[in-house]
Amino acid sequence: DVYDKNGLLGQLKKGCRAMSPILDMWDHHPNPNVEWRHDPYHLAFTIRASKGGIKAGRDIIVSYGTYTESHLFAKFGFVNGDGSAWTEVDLSVFHNVSNMGLLDQFSHGSLDKEVTGGENDADLSIKMLNYLQYDDGYDECIDDTEISTLLLKSSKSEESSYFKSLSSHFPLQQQLKLLKAQLLANIADDNSSWIIRLQPRNPEAQPPRQSSFNHHTHVPKFDPNRIKFDGSKLISTCRLITLTEHDFDGEALNVLKEFQLSGEKISIQRQTSALEYRALGCMVRLITLSLAKYEERTSIKKLIGKLSLKRGEEDGENNEQNKSKFTFQSHMWYASHVLLGEMQTLKALQSITSSGVSQMQTQLKDENRKGNIHKSGLQLRSKPCTRVTKK
């Protein structure tokens, strides 16, 4: 289908050909010393040396495109280990995002859906309730004993009207929580709502003289003054999680109902300072929970120590016998760099969002002094009121 849609099927009938046989022979780096592009007129790839040319004795390096380290490792089985690639972290701590932004063969949920048919909407909504069990913004936990039961009933078309009529008699807090669970389920597989990508730790890193030898002098790390990322989709998710019936000038429930009826993926823009404070607190929580899972296995200090000890050692020993050992360019070496990048990303995000929470606290105090009292609460819990399901 891909070849047919792009008008290449006729060309394939003339004989098999590799799409880019030369490109695949060379190593990848975001800062390559050659450039390549597709020439549709000649049905060929043209390649030329980058500005400045290729110095004698240097390997030819190309760019496969913009990849995060996690994607590069999943798709090609290696990373450069110099901080030149973007990093990413998945903050869906209570469910699995099956669409990871790669092709189907690299998204862990695709096979599960083919074999089991995937989760129905009610099962997924119940799982998404775990994000709502902190009841942010409320002084007391919400009594949601019947919410899971109602969500199960909502999956059956013959009981849909029963669900709507029964839930409409619930207090606003419970109605809102039901609706939030369903809307969270709608974005459960939207990777941009749960995954954050950070720009390279060392964007100026250059490819090595020869890729088979370890040229790294430092383990990469973030410069706190140069961290850039787009967290707009994740904070929108957290605004939904921490929304109370007092938000949107008391019309939060109606606003969410409109989103549900439209069928569009929900996106909540900045509202009050109180909601923004809770949303940032939610981000801190998701980051902290995610980081805790990593720290059950290792630590940034241990990884840096491990990678530093091996710097310059056993260069060139990359035969198959060493692939399972912790040597330069072994699978363990690559995996450790990916792990380090993800943990450093979480630590950087934790610091930034925690600072944001502190700033919002100061802003709220100033607003209160000026008489702008927020109806929605500022309660943020470190532990859930109840736990529905495990991931």
Tell me the pLDDT of the chain (391 aa) as tens digits.
444 555 555 555 555 444 455 566 788 899 998 888 778 888 877 778 888 788 888 888 888 888 999 999 998 899 999 999 999 999 999 999 987 776 555 555 544 554 444 566 667 888 899 999 999 999 999 887 777 777 776 655 444 554 455 556 678 898 999 999 999 999 999 999 999 999 999 999 988 888 777 777 789 999 999 998 999 999 999 999 999 999 999 999 999 999 988 888 899 999 999 999 999 999 999 999 999 999 999 999 999 998 886 544 444 445 555 555 678 888 999 999 999 999 999 999 999 999 999 999 999 988 888 877 666 689 999 899 976 554 4
Cα 89 to Cα 74: distance, rounded to the nearest angstrom:
14
Residue 118: what pLDDT? 52
What does the DSSP assignment read for 330-365?
Answer: SHHHHHHHHHHHHHHHHHHHHHHHHHHHHHHHHHHH
Decide: residue 109, CB within 10 A, 0-12 exposed, 13-18 middle, 19+ buried: middle
Helices (H) and strands (E) in the chain, counts: 13, 6
Q: At what angle do helices 172-186 and 252-262 cross, to 10 degrees?
A: 30
Residue 104: what pLDDT? 57
- Hey, where are the domains in the chain? 1-65, 66-369
- Map tokens 């470190």 to a residue: 382
At residue 289, the 3 state secondary structure works out as: helix
Residue 312: what pLDDT? 45
Cα 29 to Cα 168: distance, rounded to the nearest angstrom:
57
Residue 298: what pLDDT? 94
Q: Read off the amino acid at residue 194.
A: W
Give the residue among 309, 328, 332 at the shortest CA–CA distance from 319: 328
Q: Where are the alpha helices (DSSP H) in 228-370?
A: 232-241, 252-262, 273-295, 300-309, 331-369
Residue 119: what pLDDT? 60
Residue 177: what pLDDT? 93
Q: Read off the amino acid at residue 378.
A: L
Q: Read off the amino acid at residue 20.
A: S
